[in-house]
């Protein structure tokens, strides 16, 4: 494994995965090489089209942007379009068997935003692009990255980073793996890679009038801890401009391909009087 890598003019860098991790890496790398006066080629491989509606464009994320992430956006000289911002979160309202508690933003001057990671609900046709992931990827492309809408089947490290894409091989000076847990795994025979521990989750997006969202949720994320459940088994209701998103996580392992556990968590959250 190469420990010290120095990029030089003409080097090629591959980024496998064009979600926020991959796009942020590409954006920062392009900024640094530009400051150093280097011409480095950055290639991003991203199979999923984030602009598509429903599950085809969404990676199943709750879609909350923290103040730290928004600070990264500012450092890169980016501004999130207003149509991408679904709501500005001021508070988390926690429901449990012991009562209700509110945890407000300790730094009100820093926004916490809710966004769509994909193109929006399947039956919803936005007037303008609203995907946060698509916005970031297009910014990386605008600043010089080349995006390939293809899946990387295999990543080889030795004797040099090599990507197998379809029936061809692409050679690079460096390769970055930035795929999420919901993407198909990349075969990496040279590395001992172990999958990250995950929770099962089910998520739904419910349409509602803007005035009803403001009346019942306002700018607060509702968090529901299920009575008698283990830590990590909880549900949320996130305000959006035209509805609410409800993800629910289930800690217990369930049979592969079965969603019975997460759906039980979802139903128990949906049974709260507030909802």
For β-strands 113-115 and 85-88, DSSP reports them as antiparallel
Model pLDDT, residue 254: 44
- Of the candidates 28, 117, 1, which has an alpha carbon nearest to the alpha carbon of residue 13? 28
State the pLDDT at residue 74: 92
Which stretches of the chain are assigned E, i.e. beta strand? Answer: 12-16, 41-45, 64-65, 85-88, 91-96, 99-104, 113-115, 146-148, 152-156, 162-165, 168-171, 174-177, 200-207, 220-225, 234-240, 243-250
Alpha-carbon dihedral sign for residues 211, 88, 46, 188 = negative
Q: Where are the domains of the chain?
A: 7-63+116-196, 80-113+197-270
∠10-15-20 over CA atoms, to 5°? 130
pLDDT score, position 138 = 96
**pLDDT tens digits for 83-107?**
999 888 999 888 887 888 999 888 8
| Number of Cβ within a 10 Å radius of residue 253 | 9
Name the nearest CA neighbour of 116 among 130, 135, 137. 130
In the block, tokens 């080349």 appear at: 146
Low-confidence ranges of the chain (pLDDT < 70): 1-3, 59-60, 62, 125, 227-233, 247-275
Per-residue pLDDT, 275: 53
Which pLDDT score is estimated for 256?
47
Whether the link from the prior residue into 159 is cis, omega within 30° of 0, is yes
- The reported pLDDT for the residue numbered 230 is 60
Fold classified for 7-63+116-196 = FAD/NAD(P)-binding domain (3.50.50)
pLDDT of residue 253: 47
Instruction: Encode pLDDT of 135-158 as tens digits.
Output: 999 999 999 999 999 999 999 999
């Amino acid at each position: 494994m190469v420990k010290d890598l120095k990029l030089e003019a003409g080097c090629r860098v591959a980024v496998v995965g064009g979600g926020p991790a991959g796009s942020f890496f590409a954006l920062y790398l392009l900024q640094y090489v530009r400051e150093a006066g280097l011409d480095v080629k950055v290639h991003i491989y991203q199979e999923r089209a984030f602009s598509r509606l429903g599950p085809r464009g969404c990676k199943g994320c709750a879609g909350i942007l923290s103040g730290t992430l928004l600070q990264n956006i500012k450092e890169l000289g980016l501004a999130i379009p207003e149509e991408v911002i679904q709501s500005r979160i001021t508070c988390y309202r926690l429901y449990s068997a012991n009562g209700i508690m509110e945890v407000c933003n300790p730094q009100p001057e820093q926004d916490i935003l809710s966004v769509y990671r994909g193109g929006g609900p399947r039956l919803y046709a936005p007037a303008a692009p609203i995907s946060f992931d698509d916005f970031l990827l297009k910014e990386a492309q605008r600043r010089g990255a080349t995006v390939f809408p293809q899946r990387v089947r295999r990543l080889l490290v030795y004797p040099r980073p090599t990507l197998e894409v379809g029936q061809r091989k692409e050679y690079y000076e460096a390769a970055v793996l930035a795929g999420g847990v919901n993407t198909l795994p990349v075969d990496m025979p040279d590395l001992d890679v172990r999958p990250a521990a995950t929770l099962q989750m089910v998520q739904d997006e419910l349409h509602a009038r803007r005035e009803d969202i403001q009346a019942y949720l306002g700018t607060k994320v509702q968090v529901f801890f299920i009575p008698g459940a283990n830590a990590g088994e909880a549900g949320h209701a996130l305000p959006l401009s035209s509805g609410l998103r409800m993800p629910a996580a289930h800690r217990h392992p369930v049979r592969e391909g079965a969603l019975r556990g997460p759906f039980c968590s979802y139903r128990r959250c949906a049974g709260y009087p507030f909802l």
